[in-house]
């Protein structure tokens, strides 16, 4: 393995970790869709304020996920974002709506009323999860696009990445992509219920209602996820050979799990941890279910990214022009940039450390009605 290949793999792993963090943090979005599920006004306030202390982390993880892709795999950034225009802009608009809603929803003079901002949170909660799931699904099921670098010399039609005319709408109607999107949505709701259980102290009745939510959403997620995994493992993916020629390979992702068995183990372990977390959250009073599912989600997502990008697999397959498919080898930044960025990435553990430290400090004792009594600083 050359240094460039090592750094490409390293950066793909970092992208995978960021993706995993993002999927876990989507519990904020999941929670936003639960605010009006037969909750009293007081419960809703607790839930909003509990989520409101975390929404920026999810938001920032999404931004960093995009920034890291831009830095390490700019051809993906250029091709996917410029091509699937409607998909990405829909995701972004939903996050714009979220960004103002916590701060504005209860402020006097917010013009549009609390319900409007709560509707914004609902829109972000549903479409944010669904569409991010759809976007991630393109890493497996691909899209119709071509990349011709020479176009940049054509002043009248200079764009190097050209996408299907529907520009991302077709992905939002692809049942396989939607399957993952809906699964992500119910995973987010499951994690949200587990997070509320962990973070809010509002009595046994509130906790038992959360148990039910964990069970129902967890079961729906499990069914959808199993369906997605079956579809994925039976799907024939694209893989580049030693000369960079792309070939279609039956059951590619299944083979990847077997060939890279360590990722297969991580995947299975992750699934077990997620199920264990759901079980703990649904059937016991324990508040730690979120950490089990959190770790499980991280393992599963990283494993999925691994089988999407490693082993010369095309992580953005082009269904219409397979030879234009993106691999981590043909779409990455230069060796110099990846090396420089690798040094920068050494700061990530420090960032993680202070996030965990602050999270713990702010979460001690959970949120109670006392915490939202100060009117100047509540959502």
Partner 1 sequence: MNDLLSVVDWSRAQFALTAIYHWLFVPLTLGLAVIVAVMESIYVRRGDERWKKIAKFWMTLFGINFALGVATGIILEFEFGTNWSNYSWFVGDIFGAPLAIEGIFAFFIEATFVAVMFFGWNRVSKRFHLVSTWMVAIGVSLSALWILVANAWMQNPVGTEFDPVQMRNTMTDFGAVAFNAVAMNKFFHAVASGWTLAGVFVVGISCWMIMRRSNVEAMRSSLKVGTAVGVAGILLTMYTGDGSAVQVAKVQPMKLAAMEGLYDGKVGQDLVAFGFVNPDKKPGDELPAINCEISIPYGLSVLANHDPNTFVPGINDLINGIALTPKGDTINTVSYADRIAAGRVAQDALRAYNAAAQAGDQAAMDSASLVVKENFKYFGYGYFNSPEDAVPPVALTFYSFRVMVMLGSYILAFMLVMAFIAYRRPQWLDKKWLCIIGVLTIPLTYVCSEAGWVLAEVGRQPWIIQDLMPTGIAVSDVTASSVQFTFWLFAFLFTALLIAEVSIMVHYIRSSVRRDILNS
Site for partner 1 in 79-138 (CB under 8 A): 79-83, 85-86, 88-89, 92-93, 95-96, 99-100, 102-104, 107-112
Choose, by CB under 8 A, the member of 8, 72, 191, 313 that binds partner 1: 72
The site string for partner 1 over 11-50 (x = CB under 8 A, - otherwise) reads: ----------------------------------------
Distance between CA atoms of residues 161 and 147, nearest Å: 4
Is 160 a binding residue for partner 1 by CB under 8 A? The answer is yes
Q: DSSP string of 300-358?
A: HHHHHHHHHHSTTB-SB-BSS-GGG-B-TTTS---HHHHHHHHHHHTTHHHHHHHHHHH
Position 78 contacts partner 1 (CB under 8 A): yes
Closer residue to partner 1 in complex, CB, 41/376? 376
Nearest to 320 by CA among 199, 181, 165, 124: 165
- Other Cβ atoms less than 10 A from the Cβ of 326: the count is 27
Neighbours of 376 (CB within 10 A): 4
Q: Is residue 243 a contact point for partner 1 (CB under 8 A)?
A: no
CB proximity list for 110: less than 8 A, separation 6 or greater:
104, 117
Residue 245 touches partner 1, criterion: CB under 8 A: no
Q: Does 366 bind partner 1 (CB under 8 A)?
A: no
Q: Which of 47, 68, 278, 326 binds partner 1 (CB under 8 A)?
A: 68
- The residues in 285-344 that bind partner 1, with binding defined as CB under 8 A, are 333-334, 336-337, 340-341, 344
Q: Is 173 helix (H, G, I), strand (E, B) or coil?
A: coil
Q: Contact between 376 and partner 1 (CB under 8 A)?
A: yes
Backbone angles phi, psi at 277, to 5 degrees: -60, -40
Task: Return the residues of window 163-222 that contact partner 1 according to CB under 8 A.
Answer: 163, 167
Q: How far is CA 364 from CA 199, 207, 257, 295, 357, in A?
A: 9, 18, 40, 20, 11
Which CB sits closer to partner 1, 8 or 256? 8
Q: What's the CA gap between 208 and 227, in Å, rounded?
A: 29
- CA 54, CA 186: separation in Å to the nearest integer? 19
In this chain, which of 244, 284, 355, 369 binds partner 1, going by CB under 8 A?
A: 355
Q: Which of 9, 13, 44, 60 is the binder for partner 1 (CB under 8 A)? A: 60
Find the binder of partner 1 among 9, 13, 64, 269 (CB under 8 A): 64
How far is CA 179 from its chain centroid?
A: 14
Pick from 153, 204, 242, 349 the residue near partner 1 by CB under 8 A: 153
């Amino acid at each position: 393995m050359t240094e460039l290949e090592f750094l490409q793999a390293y950066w793909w792993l970092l992208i995978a970790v960021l993706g995993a963090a993002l999927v876990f943090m989507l519990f904020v979005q999941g929670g936003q869709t639960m605010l009006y599920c037969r909750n009293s006004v007081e419960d809703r306030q607790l839930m909003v304020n509990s989520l409101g202390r975390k929404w920026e982390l999810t938001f920032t993880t999404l931004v960093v996920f995009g920034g890291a892709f831009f830095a390490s795999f700019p051809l993906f950034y250029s091709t996917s974002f410029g091509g699937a225009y409607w998909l990405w802009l829909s995701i972004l608009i939903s996050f714009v709506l979220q960004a103002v809603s916590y701060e504005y929803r209860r402020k006097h003079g917010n013009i549009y009323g609390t319900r409007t901002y709560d509707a914004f949170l609902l829109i972000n909660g549903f479409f944010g999860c669904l569409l991010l799931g759809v976007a991630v699904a393109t890493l497996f099921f691909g899209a119709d696009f071509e990349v011709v670098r020479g176009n940049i010399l054509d002043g009248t039609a200079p764009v190097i990445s050209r996408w299907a005319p529907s520009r991302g709408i077709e992905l939002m109607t692809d049942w396989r992509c939607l399957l993952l999107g809906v699964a992500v949505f119910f995973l987010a709701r499951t994690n949200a219920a587990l997070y509320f259980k962990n973070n809010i102290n509002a009595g046994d009745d509130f906790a038992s209602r959360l148990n039910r939510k964990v069970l129902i959403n967890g079961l729906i997620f499990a069914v959808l996820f199993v369906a997605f995994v079956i579809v994925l493992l039976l799907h024939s993916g694209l893989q580049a050979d030693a000369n960079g020629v792309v070939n279609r390979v039956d059951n590619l992702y299944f083979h990847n799990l077997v060939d890279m068995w360590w990722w297969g183990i991580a995947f299975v372990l992750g699934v077990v941890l997620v199920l264990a977390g759901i079980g703990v959250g649904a059937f016991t009073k324990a508040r730690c279910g979120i950490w089990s599912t959190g770790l499980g989600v991280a393992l599963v997502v990283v494993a999925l990214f691994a089988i999407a990008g490693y082993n010369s697999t095309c992580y953005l397959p082009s269904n219409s022009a397979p030879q234009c498919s993106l691999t981590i080898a043909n779409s990455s930044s230069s060796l110099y940039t990846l090396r420089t960025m690798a040094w920068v990435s050494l700061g990530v553990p420090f960032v993680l450390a202070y996030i965990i430290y602050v999270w713990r400090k702010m979460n001690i004792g959970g949120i109670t009605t006392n915490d939202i009594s100060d009117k100047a600083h509540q959502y």
